[in-house]
A and B are shown apart, each in its own frame.
Chain A
Amino acid sequence: MADPLLKIEELETFFPIKSGIFKRTVAHVKAVNNISFDIKEKETFSLVGESGCGKSTLGRSILRILEPTGGKVLFHNKNILNYSSSELRKLRRDVQLVFQDPYSSLNPRMSVRELVSEPLFTHFSISKEEANQQVDEMLEKVGLPLEQAERYPHQFSGGQRQRISIARAFILKPKFVVADEPVSALDVSIQAQILKLLMQLQEEFNMTYLFISHDLNVVKHISDRVGVMYLGKMMEMTDTDSIYEEPLHPYTQALLSAVPKSDPLEEKERVILKGDVPSPANPPSGCPFHKRCPKAMEECTTIEPEFKEVKENHYVACHLY
């Protein structure tokens, strides 16, 4: 297989917790804690996990929308964390972000045409006519009627707004797109429409996706490989079929068993986890999952398990393996 498009090495994003009058840093929230993985060209890599696990922070750190505090992000074998601000601006042509909330992610005072053409005017000096033509093409691709191009975001439904967001992110034909929960805020019947659109565009533009979601059903459909995160750590990573058919980490198993069944007659074995996700500001010692793990052992409380390949292309951080 070809070289990976993106190599993430020991990436860390820590947020300082400040306290006292002098705002001294007393501790860190380790939102992304020493994570490494590759994303291959034209692949869809999905990150799943519950709220607070750091998946969105990881996605934004990779794009340097949040500044990572350590590690490397190699895009085409160049570490973008060393990029100057002008290099970074150029990089923005190739990497884009699609947001979860179709309401707050579009400037309410810009028309659809202004929103979708902004990336073009930001990166190229092109005439209005050329831009308009490209916008029209893009709107057609995402399924928005051209006669609505002069309207403002609030005149659209959630699903249509997400189409506007996608048009805006894709008009530069980026190579790599981080889609941060792009369908979570949408109605069920609309979710599938948007997922289909994303898959179609990926095919057409040969794009690579990092798809972030809390919904395992959605992830199943769109991804080639899946990484499961918990408290800033990668717990398990493998191709999509193995994660659903043969989950190794107890957390992955619990996550899968918690998905509501799709048929009332289905007999489902339930692993109901006790308690809540601990605060990322104060994670447990040893394995971050040990306090909720049904299979926790003595060593889990003290020694942090190593993230290692236990089967071919199947990585797990757990003392069981």
Chain B
Amino acid sequence: MSEIISRLKKDKVGLVGVIGVLLVLVMGFIGPLVTPHDPTEMYKSHTLEGPSATHWFGTDDFGRDIFSRVMQGARVSLYVGLISVGIGATLGFLFGLIAGFFQGWVDNVIMRIMDILFAFPDILLALTIVAVLGPSLRNTMVAIGIVFTPVFTRTVRAAVISVKEMEFITSARSIGVKTHKVIFKHVSPNILAPFIVQITLALSGAILTEAALSFLGLGIQPPEPSWGSMLNASRQYMEIAPWIAIFPAIFIIITIFCFNLLGDSLRDILDPKLNQ
């Protein structure tokens, strides 16, 4: 761990990513506590106002303070993004590992199920799951997690199959290493690169999927804000009040960008070949 940190210090781009991600996380935790206004309070006489000294990011169509809502929304968006990707990545990792390593009928069963999940458009699938489970924050996360499982399964499975053919796996088996150790010590560490990249990609997707679900009334329930739902709500006022869209969008972009930077540098750091 200390080695990872010392390596990270040398990697300027990665450091930017780490600091960015930390700032975003801090914002998610502390932001809602220090908002200048109540994020749900409507200032009826101040609807659709541009940025000003009182309302730094302006107000929305209900006269709510956008800065406060962005701060509040950070928590929800990050929470949903991280947890749902966590669910999808964990499930995908396990399924992919099992399918790729054992192949045969297990592989067939897992992959056909993934194909079926894959065949549905993301939103439709998430919508169906939320509709079945009932709309709530927890169910939204579960739904998005399931939506992302097939991508992770496929990525992991493909990587496992190529790693499995390497001689060092045969070597481990010929030494008598037990199967579960072969999987976790020899196969898993060597598929991290594509897996981590997939995680950073999925994070942005998860934040946006959450936005779409919220927009359809199945995610976060109004007036509680999330970046995605704010972005969606801004569509009608894009021309007369672009700030409603711009600020949550900027935060989504910065967050995703920082996670991508972190992902890239993590992938390099975890690869001993790139470290002398």
Contacts and interface: CB of A to CB of B under 8 A. Distances in A.
A104 B166 contact: yes
A177 to B, nearest CB: 11
Given A108-B190, A109-B190, A155-B276, A168 B170 contact: no
Contacts of A93: 176
A106 interface: yes
Contacts of A165: 171
A119 B168 contact: no
B170 A65 contact: yes
A165 B171 CA distance: 9
Contacts of A99: 167, 170-171
Contacts of B177: 118, 122
Given A107-B168, A108-B190, A109-B190, A96 B272 contact: no
Interface in B177-193: 177-178, 181, 185-186, 189-190
A93 B176 CA distance: 8
A96 B174 contact: yes
A172 B272 CA distance: 27
Task: Tell me if B's interface is mostly helix, strand, loop or mixed.
Answer: helix
A91 B174 CA distance: 10
A67 interface: no
B173 A107 contact: no
B167 A154 contact: no
Contact of B175 (A101, A109, A122): A122
Contact residues on B (Cβ < 8 Å of other chain), bracket: 20 to 34
Nearest to B186: A107
A205 B177 CA distance: 23
B276 A104 contact: no
B168 A105 contact: yes
B273 interface: yes
Nearest to A106: B168
A119 B272 contact: no
Given A104-B167, A107-B168, A123 B176 contact: yes
B171 A92 contact: no
Contacts of B185: 107, 110
A152 B170 CA distance: 19
A89 interface: yes
A165 B174 CA distance: 12
A119 B175 contact: yes
Interface string A87-115: 01111110011010100111111100000
B171 A119 contact: no
B174 A63 contact: yes
A91 B173 CA distance: 12
- Looking at B186, B272, B273, B276, the one whose CB has the most chain A CB atoms below 10 A away is B272
B83 interface: no
- Looking at A108, A109, A119, A123, the one whose CB has the most chain B CB atoms below 10 A away is A109
Nearest to B179: A85
B176 A108 contact: no
A109 B189 contact: yes
Nearest to B171: A105
Nearest to B274: A154
Contacts of B171: 97, 99, 105-107, 165, 168
Nearest to B192: A109
B172 interface: yes
Nearest to A93: B176
B273 A154 contact: yes
B3 to A, nearest CB: 11
Interface string A164-181: 010011001000000000
Interface of A: 63, 65, 88-93, 96-97, 99, 101, 104-110, 118-119, 122-123, 152, 154-155, 165, 168-169, 172
Given A107-B172, A107-B185, 7 more contacts: A65-B174, A93-B176, A99-B167, A104-B166, A105-B166, A109-B189, A118-B172
Q: Which 3 A-B pairs have the closest CB atoms?
A: A92-B176, A105-B167, A152-B272
Interface of B: 166-168, 170-178, 181, 185-186, 189-190, 272-273, 276
21 contacts: A65-B170, A89-B178, A91-B176, A96-B174, A97-B171, A99-B170, A99-B171, A101-B167, A104-B166, A105-B167, A105-B171, A107-B168, A109-B189, A119-B175, A119-B176, A122-B175, A122-B177, A154-B272, A155-B276, A168-B171, A172-B175
